[in-house]
């Protein structure tokens, strides 16, 4: 039976992403936990919500406690998306934890280049291996702005990936805002605000009433005790100048 397709809801396309690889050298989860904490502590913003791929090439065939590993990685704010290398048994264990099995580099780049020369309609005839090599979250490529018109409560976390974040409600202490671009808050900002979390030093924070617990631009941060009390409750903009965080009253 043939069903006439209405206008299509999506297009399947290829996209290449450079992702950090977590290359496992050993499978001792306690030691892993320790090293992860140390690493993440040094550059918390970098790892925040970053998708990572687990590389199994060096421990091929060795049993990995995937539930533990995935928990550890997530616990440090990263998003484990898949594994690379390893054996079928390892792949099965990884799949149990919702991880994708990613083809190795060489194969995937070949797939991508073929795609580039494909016509648009070619995306319909994707083969199984194409689909597999691109199992990575697809994010909008253009800069997007996220607008939230509700209060952000303690414990809530908003991340504007790939763009700016505009908040119209108040941000409670214990709440956390993050954006790859700028952050605007048109109400009291009492929580944490981290702009340019992927390292954009041109990102800025604008807020109507500064009472923040922590502000950060591209990893240069300041906690509330280090913010001049004269700036409290003021409308300010926060930016980096020669790697120094500046807070300026509007």
Partner 1 sequence: MARIIVITSGKGGVGKTTTSSALAMGLALRGHRTAVIDFDVGLRNLDLVMGCERRVVYDFVNVLNSEANLTQALIKDKRCENLFILPASQTRDKSSLKREGVGRVMEELSRGFDYVVCDSPAGIEHGAMMAMYYADDAIIVTNPEISSVRDSDRMLGILAGKSRRAETAATPIREYLLLSRYDPERVQRGDMMSVDDVQEILSLELLGVVPESKAVLTASNAGTPIILDKESDAGQAYSDVVKRYLGERLPHRFIETTKKGLLNRLFGE
Residues that bind partner 1 (CB under 8 A): 150-156, 170, 172-175, 190
Q: Min. distance of Cβ 192 from partner 1 in angstroms?
A: 14
**Residue 23: half-sphere exposure toward Cβ, Cα within 13 Å:** 2
Q: Min. distance of Cβ 164 from partner 1 in angstroms?
A: 22
Tokens read off for 210: 């500064």
The two most distant CA atoms of the chain are separated, in Å, by: 73
Q: Min. distance of Cβ 188 from partner 1 in angstroms?
A: 8
Q: How far apart are CA 208 and CA 185, in angstroms?
A: 6
Q: How far apart are CA 176 and CA 214, in angstroms?
A: 9
Q: Min. distance of Cβ 232 from partner 1 in angstroms?
A: 14
Nearer to partner 1, 194 or 218 (CB): 194
> How many Cβ atoms from other residues are within 10 Å of residue 234's Cβ?
16
Nearer to partner 1, 150 or 232 (CB): 150
Nearer to partner 1, 170 or 216 (CB): 170
Q: Min. distance of Cβ 172 from partner 1 in angstroms?
A: 5
Tokens read off for 31: 């030691």
Q: How far apart are CA 83 and CA 100, in angstroms?
A: 6
Nearer to partner 1, 130 or 176 (CB): 176
Nearer to partner 1, 134 or 211 (CB): 211
Nearer to partner 1, 154 or 202 (CB): 154
Do the Cβ atoms of 99 and 54 come closer than 8 Å? yes
Strands (E) across the chain are located at 21-23, 51-55, 79-84, 100-102, 144-148, 157-160, 163-167, 176-179, 183-189, 192-195, 205-210, 214-217, 220-223, 236-241, 244-249
Q: Min. distance of Cβ 13 from partner 1 in angstroms?
A: 27
Q: How far apart are CA 45 and CA 195, in angstroms?
A: 10
């Amino acid at each position: 039976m043939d069903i006439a397709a209405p206008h299509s809801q999506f297009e399947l396309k290829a996209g290449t992403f450079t992702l950090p690889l977590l290359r496992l050298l050993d499978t001792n989860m306690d030691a892993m936990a320790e090293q992860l904490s140390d690493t993440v502590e040094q550059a918390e913003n970098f790892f925040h919500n970053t998708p990572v791929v687990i590389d199994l090439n060096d421990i091929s065939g060795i049993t990995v406690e995937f539930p533990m590993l995935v928990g550890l990685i997530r616990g440090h704010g990263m998003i484990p998306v898949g594994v690379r290398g390893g054996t079928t048994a390892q792949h099965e264990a990884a799949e149990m934890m919702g991880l994708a099995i990613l083809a190795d580099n060489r194969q995937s780049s070949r797939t991508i280049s073929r795609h580039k020369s494909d016509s648009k309609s070619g995306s319909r005839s994707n083969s199984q291996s194409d689909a597999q090599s691109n199992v990575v979250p697809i994010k909008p490529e253009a800069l997007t702005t996220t607008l939230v018109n509700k209060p952000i409560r303690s414990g809530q976390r908003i991340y504007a990936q790939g763009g700016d974040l505009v908040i119209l409600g108040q941000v409670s202490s214990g709440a956390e805002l993050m954006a790859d671009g700028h952050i605007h808050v048109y109400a009291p900002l009492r929580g944490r605000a981290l702009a340019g979390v992927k390292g954009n030093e041109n990102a800025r924070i604008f807020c109507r009433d500064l009472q923040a617990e922590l502000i950060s631009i591209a990893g240069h941060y300041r906690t509330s005790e280090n913010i001049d009390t004269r700036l409290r409750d003021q409308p300010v903009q926060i930016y980096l100048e020669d790697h120094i965080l500046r807070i300026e009253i509007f």
